[in-house]
DNA sequence: CGGTATCCTTGACGATACTG
DNA sequence: CAGTATCGTCAAGGATACCG
């Protein structure tokens, strides 16, 4: 394997709040339908959830991505974050009314995905079969 | 700006068909709600569309991403691709019945994004205001 | 017209370690 | 418990050029 030496910038952007100023319809959709947002929003719409509960229920998410996604959703006014100053600390997240209006479309999407997951897997096999060989 | 010399692999993966074997619900959702897929699916559900029409109507998409996204949607059985062997060539894409069942959720998502785009922009300003200073 | 090929940058994300 | 900080990887996707 050959390789090249290239220059890389020192700092990455990540999902750092402070970005995404434009806020087009496309950006809103991507924020809301992003890799982890759907799972979080679904949970937070059913009722208040704690950080650790989300970490368990949103399959495969890392602590870091959970934090980042939660912050972004909070920033966009989709989640309300409530801190209880107890020991140990307790933080609850709940969907705002605006976010709750998304519930129907989101469950529609998930339901569809569940119904057709098998069919899609098959379609891929067929496609790959008659193009590869 | 400082920089480091690092080794990079020669070939990228891109959205190259042949990847994504697992096909979980999460993957299906991300495929279908991805950056460009929604716009394409919406157009292709209303009726057959040509490559160049999509290039114009899906705001901001590059020729490359249009091709890649179309191929992936076709592979997953969401689009039917029809080639008319004329001069000049003509290719039409149309949503399959399975994809058409997504229309409701997709327009729901887009409608919501349009309704709340302003509110979200405001929420961001507020959030950034009371956290930054 | 409807694509491919190649090259490059940047941002999404995981791993790991540490903290009030 | 609920995070933050730092580092590294890799895939998404833009730019550009070329093709049947």
A29: closest chain B residue by CA: B113
What span, in angstroms and rounded, lies between the C-alpha atoms of A5 and A24?
Answer: 37
Encode pLDDT of A52-68 as tens digits: 999 999 999 999 999 99
pLDDT band at residue B3 using 50, 70 and 90 as cut-offs: very low
* Protein-contacted positions of strand D (CB under 7 Å): 1-17, 20
pLDDT band at residue B14 using 50, 70 and 90 as cut-offs: low
- How high is the mean pLDDT of chain B? 87
Q: Which of A45, A36, A27 is nearest to B30 (CA)?
A: A36
Q: Is it the case that residue A42 has pLDDT exceeding 90?
A: yes
C-alpha torsion sign, points B8, B14, B20, B25: positive
Average pLDDT of span A33-41: 93
The 3-state DSSP composition of chain B as helix, strand, coil percent (nearest 5) reads 55, 15, 30
Q: Are strands A5-7 and B5-7 parallel, antiparallel or unpaired?
A: antiparallel
Q: Is A50 helix (H, G, I), strand (E, B) or coil?
A: strand
How would CATH label the architecture of B17-131?
Answer: Orthogonal Bundle (1.10)
If you count residue pairs, one on A and one on B, with CB atoms under 8 Å apart, how many are there? 147
Quickly list DSSP for B87-111: SS-EEEEEE-HHHHTTHHHHHHHHH
Beta-carbon separation of B117 and A28 below 8 A: yes
Q: Is B79 helix (H, G, I), strand (E, B) or coil?
A: strand
Reported pTM: 0.88
- How high is the mean pLDDT of chain A? 87
The partner residue sitting opposite A119, judged by closest CB among B38, B77, B121, is: B77
Beta-bridge mates of residue A95: A79
Q: Is it the case that residue A109 has pLDDT exceeding 50?
A: yes
């Amino acid at each position: 394997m050959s390789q090249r030496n290239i220059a890389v910038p020192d700092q990455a952007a990540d999902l750092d709040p402070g970005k995404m100023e434009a806020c087009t319809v496309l950006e809103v959709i991507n924020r809301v339908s992003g890799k982890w947002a759907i799972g979080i929003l679904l949970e937070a719409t059913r009722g208040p959830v704690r950080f650790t509960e989300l970490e368990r229920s949103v399959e495969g998410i890392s602590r870091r991505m959970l934090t980042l996604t939660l912050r972004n959703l909070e920033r966009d006014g989709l989640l309300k974050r409530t801190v209880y100053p107890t020991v140990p600390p307790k933080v609850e997240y709940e969907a705002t009314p605006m976010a709750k209006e998304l519930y129907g479309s989101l469950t529609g999407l998930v339901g569809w995905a569940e119904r057709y997951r098998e069919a899609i897997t098959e379609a891929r096999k067929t496609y790959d079969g008659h193009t590869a060989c």
